[in-house]
Chain A
Amino acid sequence: MKGYKDCVLRVDLASKNITKEPLNRDYIKQYLGGEGYGIALLWDEMPHTADAFSPENILSFNTGPLTGTPTPSASRTSVVFMSPLTSTIGAANMGSHFGAELKFAGYDSIVFTGRSENPVYLFIDNDTVELRPADHLWGLDTRQTTEKLKEEIGSEFKISCIGQAGEMLSKLACIFSDDCFAGRGGAGAVMGHKHLKAVAVRGTGSVEVADKDAFLEFNKTAIQELRSEVYTWGPVHGYGTPAWLGGVNEYGLMPTRNFRSNVFEDMEPLMPHNLWNDTGRFTVRRRACYACQLGCHKYVTMGDVEVGELEYETIAAFGPRCGVSDYPSIAMANYYATLYGIDTISAGATVSAAMELFEEGLIGLKETDGLELKFGNGEAMAELVRRMGLREGVGGDLFADGSWHAVKRIGQEAEKFAMTVKGMEISATDPRGSSSMSIAFGTSERGACHMRPYAATIDGFGYLFPDLEINEPKNPFDDNESKVWLKAVKEYFVVTNLIGICDFNVINTEMHPTTLAALYSAVTGIETDKLELLRKAERVIALERALNYKRGFRRGDDRLPKRFMHEPAQSGPPAGRVVDMETALDRYYEACGYDREKAVPTKETFETLGMGDVYRKLK
């Protein structure tokens, strides 16, 4: 079993006890690794209804078997936990060079249990693993924490840490690793609750590959698949994810002013060339994650301000969603979100909801501490993000936990303005323009997430994916169309989280599942085909749904906010369209073999997956 390091680091933060153990072979066989490994731990070891902010919550950092190899984008670490934002499973996936370093140090996963009484950080230098005091780091922002740690222990260490937002238990808090983020669901707040400020790792060991020659051959195939997709290897490779802004807007998929509209009329200033070419104000440099061909990750500076990564979702959230069309405001909002460590998607969406609440008169200057929170006010937008990151003032505290938790505090009338599913803010695709995205946002096990899967590529933009049996174009406006294809795409996206590569290698149907299966086989020596990979992902999704079910989640929680069912899309191709959510859910549950009301796999589906034991525990 090459590729895997066959070593899990167990860190009990309460007793400060650190142990090492081999990988659970059943987990690898059933769930492959990565996100699947973390979810299996939650299912087996955590009381299923445990509060996210309790010592019982288990926080794990999980690499995949391909992490650390030269497979394109084999950088990924899946952070798994129970989410304080949604109360569902939490699974946030990050790039950077952290995951590869963890593998070189000799570990597949780090599993944190319990809660420390005082702030600590985990120090890993190959075999040496220590919990060290972090009182001197507590209160520092993400960049300060990283710099201070590197000064103390060496610049070659790779650091994952939280900022002040995580310390103050903001439910939007993320984990920062060199301007990459385990962003969604409040992983940073779980670290903060556990008083775990950072993890620092250095590794000089090896990741072994079972069949080097086969790997090198299939890796060239994978690279060729990436480089022959014109959109991926052209604009996205050039500008990064902001290359999506223009196309998404043209197809009527751009959330605008809290989804009041689906096309932003002032997009031109936000087109990525206007950022890159504005050399008087901005410097943009490439800064790729480990082994990444695509290199979407960029580092932006604006004068003295180290803005950091500006990507599609961030620009869309702070830009069109808030009616803002100037890069300096968006850059400042991103800067604050990065420093204090909050998810930019949810942060932008929350400001957007706050703006609508302000315009509708449901909150006033008292709640915003004097900010004129009108759509289009970029300065106010960035300032609210700053205050949210630090929980500063009435508004900063009110919105620090995201829009859903804010509207709950404001009152029932406000609830319709939270564009969330399960409490997580919908990311930058308007579901009225893509039936598959209605389902993806609705049924995502971690709340409205754009990566479970991003399927607008297929039904919105018209891509085919023969290796996943998608040979005909799909209708983005037909909620009654079979969604068997969507099940396959979702499973393939989840495969990337298990195996340790980035979704951006499959999002435009680039890397074929057959190629990925060949790479997995070559690295691990475990003969696997694409159907088996998809089957493992199907199991992980089933286990996630089972865990959510035990926490009370049902069909009703898989619905989009009412706006999408009652307010038609304003313009662009989907103009006039609303979502028929019940029909869409029926088609998807059918495709997956789920019970229509319970929204979990049926007994037969569980048994087909070899998960009868999980079904029996649902009772």
Chain B
Amino acid sequence: MIPGVVKVLTNARACQGCRACEAVCALKHFGVVNPQSTGVKIKESKEPGKFTQTICQQCIDMPCASVCPVGAIQRDGFTGAVAILDTCTGCGACEPACPIHAIQMTQVTEEVRAFKCDLCGGIPECVSICPRQALSW
């Protein structure tokens, strides 16, 4: 895994664990708020008030893309994000291929598909909504 440079940056010390980023991510991409369908995931550690942030690193070597059997994961020419195309069949091969578990298999509609941060096509909503600048751009 070779993390990319242009991506959503995280600052664990600033995060307050409100999960507004999760909510707005799901809403932006799926039209509903769903805790299982977010490209950013906030988890509280055993120590109350300490949080981890998981979000795609837009890797240079794209380990997820290399295991996709239908070539549905590609670099987006406009944003530079590693994007999952609509041709995703939901086979799940990419999920374990991500070393930081930034891909979720979601099922908001009847179809199962892989989902992760795509930088919202340009301006990440999670960065806008984060009240702590724990996510930045």
A502 to chain B, nearest CB (A): 11
B49 contact set on A, CB distance < 8 A: 285-287, 298-299
- Pair A294/B131 contact, Cβ less than 8 Å: yes
Which residue of the partner chain, among B17, B23, B28, contacts A69 with CB atoms under 8 Å? B23
A208 contact set on B, CB distance < 8 A: 31-33
- Pair A286/B27 contact, Cβ less than 8 Å: no
When A and B form their complex, what is the total count of cross-chain residue pairs whose Cβ atoms lie within 8 Å? 95
| Residue interface mask A280-300, B partner, CB < 8 A = 1 | 000001111111111100110
B10 contact set on A, CB distance < 8 A: none
Q: Which of B1-47 contact A (CB under 8 A)?
A: 15-20, 23-24, 26-28, 30-37, 44
- Pair A287/B20 contact, Cβ less than 8 Å: no
Decide if A70 is an interface residue (CB 8 Å cutoff). Answer: yes
A212 contact set on B, CB distance < 8 A: 27-28, 31
CA distance A223 to B16 in the complex (A): 16
Pick the most buried of A237, A290, A306: most chain B CB atoms within 10 A of its CB.
A290
B23 contact set on A, CB distance < 8 A: 68-70, 290-291
A294 contact set on B, CB distance < 8 A: 131
- Pair B35/A292 contact, Cβ less than 8 Å: no
Which residue of the partner chain, among A205, A206, A288, contacts B16 with CB atoms under 8 Å? A288
* Number of residues of chain A lying within 8 A (CB) of chain B: 37
- Pair A237/B131 contact, Cβ less than 8 Å: yes
- Pair A70/B20 contact, Cβ less than 8 Å: yes
- Pair B27/A69 contact, Cβ less than 8 Å: yes
Decide if B67 is an interface residue (CB 8 Å cutoff). Answer: no
B28 contact set on A, CB distance < 8 A: 212, 216
B31 contact set on A, CB distance < 8 A: 208-209, 212
CA distance A179 to B28 in the complex (A): 31
Which residue of the partner chain, among B17, B24, B36, B132, contacts A70 with CB atoms under 8 Å? B24
- Pair A204/B36 contact, Cβ less than 8 Å: yes
CA distance A290 to B15 in the complex (A): 13
Q: Which of A256-290 contact B (CB under 8 A)?
A: 285-290
- Pair A206/B108 contact, Cβ less than 8 Å: yes
Decide if A203 is an interface residue (CB 8 Å cutoff). Answer: yes
B37 contact set on A, CB distance < 8 A: 206
B18 contact set on A, CB distance < 8 A: 288-293, 295
- Pair A220/B19 contact, Cβ less than 8 Å: no
A286 nearest in chain B by CB position: B16
Which residue of the partner chain, among B17, B33, B44, B50, contacts A206 with CB atoms under 8 Å? B33
Q: Which of B40-92 contact A (CB under 8 A)?
A: 44, 48-50
Which residue of the partner chain, among B33, B48, B108, contacts A299 with CB atoms under 8 Å? B48
- Pair B48/A293 contact, Cβ less than 8 Å: no
Pick the most buried of A70, A223, A290, A306: most chain B CB atoms within 10 A of its CB.
A70
B128 contact set on A, CB distance < 8 A: 220
CA distance A606 to B33 in the complex (A): 38
B111 to chain A, nearest CB (A): 14
CA distance A291 to B16 in the complex (A): 10
Pick the most buried of B23, B28, B50, B132: most chain A CB atoms within 10 A of its CB.
B23
Decide if B105 is an interface residue (CB 8 Å cutoff). Answer: no
B99 to chain A, nearest CB (A): 23
CA distance A285 to B17 in the complex (A): 11
CA distance A104 to B22 in the complex (A): 13
- Pair A292/B20 contact, Cβ less than 8 Å: yes
A211 nearest in chain B by CB position: B31
CA distance A104 to B34 in the complex (A): 7
A179-B48, A291-B18 are known contacts. Are A206 and B34 too (CB-CB below 8 A)? yes
Which residue of the partner chain, among A207, A219, A287, contacts B17 with CB atoms under 8 Å? A287
A75 to chain B, nearest CB (A): 8
| Residue interface mask A176-210, B partner, CB < 8 A = 1 | 00110000000000000000000000011111110
Decide if A375 is an interface residue (CB 8 Å cutoff). Answer: no
B16 contact set on A, CB distance < 8 A: 286-288, 292, 295
CA distance A293 to B131 in the complex (A): 5
B15 nearest in chain A by CB position: A286
- Pair A209/B32 contact, Cβ less than 8 Å: yes
Decide if B98 is an interface residue (CB 8 Å cutoff). Answer: no
A107 to chain B, nearest CB (A): 15
25 pairs from A and B in contact (CB 8 Å cutoff): A69-B23, A203-B35, A204-B35, A204-B36, A205-B34, A206-B30, A207-B33, A207-B34, A208-B32, A209-B32, A215-B27, A216-B125, A219-B24, A223-B129, A237-B131, A285-B50, A287-B16, A287-B17, A287-B48, A288-B17, A289-B18, A291-B19, A292-B20, A295-B18, A295-B131
Which residue numbers of A lie inside 8 Å of B, CB to CB? 68-70, 72, 97, 104, 178-179, 203-209, 212, 215-216, 219-220, 223, 227, 237, 285-295, 298-299, 306
Which residue numbers of B lie inside 8 Å of A, CB to CB? 15-20, 23-24, 26-28, 30-37, 44, 48-50, 108, 125, 128-129, 131-132
Shortest 10 CB-CB distances between A and B: which pairs? A285-B49, A288-B18, A70-B23, A286-B16, A206-B32, A288-B16, A293-B131, A299-B49, A206-B34, A70-B24
